[in-house]
Amino acid sequence: MSDEGKHDILRRLKSVEGHVRGVERMVEEGAYCIDVVNQILAIQRALKKVSGLMLDQHLHHCVTRAIQGTDDAEKEQVLGELIQVFEATGKA
């Protein structure tokens, strides 16, 4: 993973962490339910973005290296991993 990509992902995860703590406080303080739900939806969108960034990093580094390499087992492994991710997200 590139240093820039790693920094961006960590920054986003720290932001998500802060939002989760904020939602926890909202629940403790009895905030309006829809306000809590809207914050949870924002957290889910932020995590989806992080997931996309991680997949992008994986494709540009790990998968590219495996496909350009000579190890057929490694190629099959990374392709299998990608298929699992797409199946898990319902995109396969």
Q: What is the pLDDT of residue 23?
A: 98
Q: What is the pLDDT of residue 62?
A: 87
The answer, as to whether pTM is greater than 0.85, is no
User: Range of 39's domain?
Assistant: 3-88
Phi, then psi, of 21 in degrees rounded to 5: -60, -40
Note the pLDDT tens digit of each residue in 8-33. 999 999 999 999 999 999 999 999 99
Sign of the CA dihedral with 23 first, then 43, 11, and 65 last? positive
Q: Count up the domains in the chain and report the number.
A: 1
Q: What's the CATH number where 59 sits?
A: 1.20.58.1000
| Low-confidence stretches of the chain (pLDDT beneath 70) | 91-92
